[in-house]
C-alpha cells in the first residue's frame, strides 16, 4: 500500500523546476508540487492521488509517473500542458501544495525544499473554486458549503474523459 501525505507549505519559489527536481530525487518516494492557490482543500489532492493510484493499478494511466498522473487529476484535465498551466507552480509563488508518496520524513523533504509547513494554504475557498474554473452557474446550483464538492467532481470526471 502506498503511503500518501498531503502537505501545504510556504516559502519563496524562484524556480519551480528546482522543487520538482528535488522531489524526483527522493529516496524511495515521489512527490507532486502544485500551486496551493488552485487547491480547494486537502480532499481535492487526496482524491486526485487516489484516482492516480487506481489508474496505475488498472494500467490506464495517461502519464509515466504517479506525480504527473496526480497533477492531471488534480487539475481536472487530461493534457499535461493544460494541467501544468492550471495547477502547476509558477516562479514567485509562495504557497505550495505537495502530494508525497511513500515519503518517510516529510520534515526533511520540506527542509530540503526550503519550505515551512503550513496546511492552512490548502483550505478551500469560493475564490479558489472560481479560479479552478467552477462557473457561477454551477456555484448557484449548490448550497454555499458545497463548492468544494464541485471541484472533486472535476477530479472524478477525468476518468470519464479518457
Q: What does DSSP assign to residue 162?
A: -
Quote the pTM value. Answer: 0.93
The whole-angstrom separation of Cα 153 and Cα 162 is 15
For cell 524526483, name the residue: 24
The side-by-side arrangement of strands in the sheet containing 116-117 is 30-35, 95-101, 4-10, 116-117
Q: Which domains does the chain have, with CATH numbers?
A: 4-157 (3.30.2380.10)
Residues in the chain: 162
Predicted confidence band of residue 116 (pLDDT cuts 50, 70, 90): very high
46-80, pLDDT tens digit by residue?
A: 999 999 999 999 999 999 999 999 999 999 999 99
Amino acid at each position: 500500500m502506498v503511503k500518501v501525505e498531503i502537505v501545504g507549505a510556504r516559502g519563496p519559489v524562484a524556480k519551480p523546476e528546482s522543487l520538482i527536481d528535488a522531489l524526483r530525487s527522493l529516496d524511495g518516494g515521489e512527490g507532486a508540487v502544485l500551486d496551493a492557490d488552485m487547491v480547494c482543500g486537502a480532499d481535492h489532492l487526496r482524491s486526485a492521488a487516489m484516482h492516480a493510484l487506481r489508474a496505475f493499478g488498472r494500467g490506464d494511466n495517461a502519464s509515466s509517473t504517479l506525480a504527473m498522473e496526480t497533477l492531471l487529476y488534480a487539475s481536472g484535465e487530461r493534457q499535461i500542458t493544460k494541467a501544468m498551466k492550471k495547477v502547476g507552480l509558477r516562479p514567485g509563488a509562495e504557497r505550495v501544495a505537495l502530494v508525497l508518496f511513500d515519503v518517510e520524513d516529510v520534515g526533511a523533504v520540506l527542509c530540503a525544499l526550503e519550505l515551512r509547513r503550513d496546511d492552512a494554504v490548502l483550505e478551500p475557498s469560493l475564490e479558489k473554486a472560481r479560479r479552478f474554473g467552477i462557473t457561477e452557474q454551477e456555484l448557484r446550483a449548490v448550497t454555499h458549503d458545497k463548492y468544494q464538492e464541485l471541484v472533486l467532481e472535476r477530479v472524478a470526471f477525468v476518468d470519464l474523459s479518457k
